[in-house]
Every structure is written in structure tokens, then in C-alpha cells.
């Protein structure tokens, strides 16, 4: 294995992010259900990044086992991503405490205050703001760091691109620890974002085809063959049933999801389901469809969640090479910028 890259310029700009995570590089692995499990998460942390376990719909017992199994594979820092709408959220937080988890990422909506308070007793809290106003609110509520994720990302996404979120949020919160995510596949983009004030970046799509990823060969091949325009967002069928858009490769499963929305909307209208249960049923649908694709290799009717950077995923390679190339490219880009600056400035 080649020696880790020397990145002094990047290190200086990401010092706050690296200190917050306790890692060599300020690179988080995006939490991808069924993909971000013990093998990939440990590999990310071992490569100098920060792996994040995707709890998804796991039960507390399953999460406890996954945390323990990850600890057997790495002694370096990693975190756990919890979905705020999970019916056993507080039990999962307790599992994280018992497992010695130092960072908990809350996703899937505005985190409830009791959850933030419970996590802060033993770990740092990371959350996703969809706007500057929400970013400020999260920081006031006790969240320790933010991930601004653009609509270019895979999986559940918001409506605003990273290029806009970065301009809106980073200059206004210069003292906050903020990681940028969505559409990041090359180091030049990482360099630009940390130069704007980001403390680091989060990448997901690029890691799906990593050698250490347990994703089915069919799932990886779908990524290697796809272009950016193949990764599309789902459409909301019924405005009475708010559904967070999901970006995935277009296939037969796209139409199947529309049918599922019609079914759940009809039951909601008939009074057979309260809104919260209807939304949770949609989330369970996605979890099942994603499992069929990631684990079983059904890339026709399953959900092949992918970000728009999928068009730049061209090979299956070790995580260490992916992260090493990303930070080396970022360092080179920062060096070019420095070389172009007038002397004495």
C-alpha cells in the first residue's frame, strides 16, 4: 500500500473538521442503508476518513450488534446515523451510548429536542439543515455540527443544490463546523468547498463501488454504467402525504413507487392510516426496495439510490485509494490556486 498523501494546505483549511471528527481527513462517509455497514464503515475509518453506520430501520439489538462488529474491524472513530422518525429512536440512542459511540448523525427531519439532549450527554450531534434559518435553529438547539446536503445527492434529498446551500450558509456561519455533501466526486470540488468555509465534505455515491462495499455486483455495475442524468428524483403523488424526494437510477421501481404512493394515499384518505403511519409505511417501502437492489441485486424493480455524481464512478477500487485520490486532488487544486496568488498577498 502506498504511503498516505501529504496534504498540508488541505489540512490547514479542514483543521476544525478533522479535530471535530478525530480523523486524519475531514471526509465523512455518507450513511447509505444496507451499504454503510460494518465492512465499508470500518474501511473508511481505517483509510483516514470518518465512517458512519446507517441504522435505517434496524432494531436496537441489530444496531448494537453492528456497532460491536464495526469495533472489531477498526479502533478509529466512526459514527451512527439515526432516522428521526424511527419509532424506537430513544432506544437506539441508548444503544449508541452503551456502544461508546462518539458521534450521532440525526437525519430525516428536524431532530426532536429530547433526542438532541439525550445524545449530548455522551456524544456529539450532527444534523442536516435544509436552509440557513434551519441551520441557525439547529445550532441554537444544541447540535454540534451540520451537513449541508444538496439535491445532487443520492437517497432522500432536499430541493436545493449544494452550490446554492454553500453560498447561502457558509459565509453566514463562519464559526460553525459544517460539512458539505451532494455531487462530490473529485478533489477539486472539495478544495473549492473548504476554501469557501466548509470544514470538510461527505461522500456517498463514490463509495458504493468500493472493494469493501458489500453491495451486490449488479448494484455496482449499475453505478459503473450510469450517467448523471440517469439519477432522478421521485415525484410526490399526493400533496396530503408529504414524501421526501428520493434520488435513484430510473428503472421499473420508479413506477412501482408511484403505485405505492397511490395505495397509501387512498388508505390515508379513507381514514385507515394516520399521517405519521402513512409516512412510515413509505419509508419502509424504500428500505425494502433498497434491500432488493443492494443485497439481492434486483436493479430492475429495486431502488438503486444514487447521486448525480454517479456518472463519475468508473471503477471498483479500495476505499483507501478513493479517499487518497480525493484529498490529493484537493491538495493539488489548492496548490494551483496558491501559485496564482500575487506575491505578498
pLDDT at 2: 62
pLDDT at 245: 87
Domain ranges, ordered by start, for the chain: 8-214+314-330, 221-294
Residues 16 and 193 sit within 8 Å (Cβ to Cβ): no
CATH of domain 8-214+314-330: 3.20.20.70
Of 332, 49, 320, 29, which is closest to residue 187 (Cα–Cα)?
A: 332
> Residue 152 and residue 232: Cα distance in Å, rounded?
9
pLDDT of residue 1: 47
Q: Which three cell numbers stand for residue 160?
A: 436545493
Please, how many CA atoms are within 13 Å of residue 196, restricted to the half-sphere of its CB? 23
Question: Quick one: cell of 85?
Answer: 422518525
Give residue 343's pLDDT: 60
**Regions in the chain scoring below 50 on pLDDT:** 1, 344-345
Looking at residue 160, what DSSP letter applies? S
- At 216-235, the pLDDT tens digits run 999 999 999 999 999 999 88
Whole-number pLDDT of residue 108: 87
Which H or E run contains 83? strand 78-83
Task: Give per-residue pLDDT as tens, 78-87.
Answer: 999 999 989 9
Burial class (CB in 10 A: 0-12, 13-18, 19+), 238: middle
pLDDT at 255 (0 to 100): 82
pTM: 0.94
Amino acid at each position: 500500500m502506498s504511503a498516505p498523501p501529504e496534504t498540508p494546505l488541505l489540512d490547514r483549511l479542514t483543521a476544525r473538521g478533522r479535530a471535530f471528527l478525530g480523523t486524519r481527513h475531514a471526509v465523512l462517509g455518507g450513511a447509505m442503508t444496507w451499504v454503510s455497514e460494518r465492512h465499508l464503515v470500518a474501511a473508511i475509518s481505517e483509510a483516514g476518513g470518518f465512517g458512519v453506520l446507517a441504522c435505517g430501520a434496524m432494531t436496537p439489538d441489530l444496531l448494537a450488534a453492528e456497532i460491536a462488529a464495526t469495533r472489531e474491524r477498526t479502533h478509529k472513530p466512526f459514527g451512527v446515523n439515526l432516522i428521526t422518525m424511527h419509532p424506537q429512536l430513544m432506544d437506539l440512542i441508548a444503544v449508541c451510548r452503551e456502544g461508546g459511540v462518539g458521534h450521532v448523525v440525526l437525519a430525516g427531519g428536524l431532530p426532536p429536542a429530547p433526542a438532541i439532549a439525550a445524545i449530548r450527554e455522551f456524544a456529539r450531534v450532527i444534523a442536516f439543515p435544509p436552509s440557513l434559518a434551519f441551520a441557525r435553529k439547529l445550532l441554537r438547539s444544541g447540535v454540534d455540527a451540520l451537513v449541508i446536503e444538496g439535491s445532487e445527492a443520492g437517497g432522500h434529498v432536499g430541493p436545493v443544490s449544494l452550490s446554492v446551500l454553500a453560498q447561502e450558509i457558509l459565509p453566514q456561519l463562519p464559526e460553525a463546523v459544517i460539512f458539505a455533501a451532494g455531487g462530490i466526486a473529485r478533489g477539486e470540488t472539495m478544495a473549492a468547498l473548504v476554501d469557501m468555509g466548509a470544514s470538510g465534505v461527505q461522500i456517498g455515491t463514490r463509495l458504493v463501488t468500493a472493494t469493501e462495499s458489500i453491495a451486490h455486483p449488479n448494484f455496482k455495475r449499475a453505478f459503473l454504467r450510469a450517467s448523471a442524468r440517469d439519477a432522478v428524483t421521485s415525484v410526490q403523488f399526493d400533496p396530503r402525504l408529504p414524501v421526501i424526494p428520493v434520488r435513484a437510477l430510473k428503472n421499473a421501481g420508479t413506477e412501482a413507487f408511484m403505485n405505492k404512493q397511490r395505495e397509501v394515499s387512498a388508505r390515508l384518505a379513507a381514514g385507515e392510516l394516520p399521517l405519521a403511519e402513512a409516512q412510515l409505511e413509505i419509508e419502509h417501502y424504500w428500505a425494502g426496495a433498497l434491500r432488493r437492489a443492494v443485497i439481492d441485486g434486483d436493479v430492475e424493480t429495486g431502488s438503486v439510490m444514487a447521486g448525480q455524481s454517479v456518472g463519475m464512478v468508473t471503477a471498483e477500487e479500495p476505499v483507501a485509494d478513493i479517499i487518497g485520490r480525493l484529498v490529493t486532488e484537493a491538495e493539488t487544486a489548492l496548490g494551483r490556486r496558491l501559485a496564482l496568488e500575487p506575491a505578498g498577498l
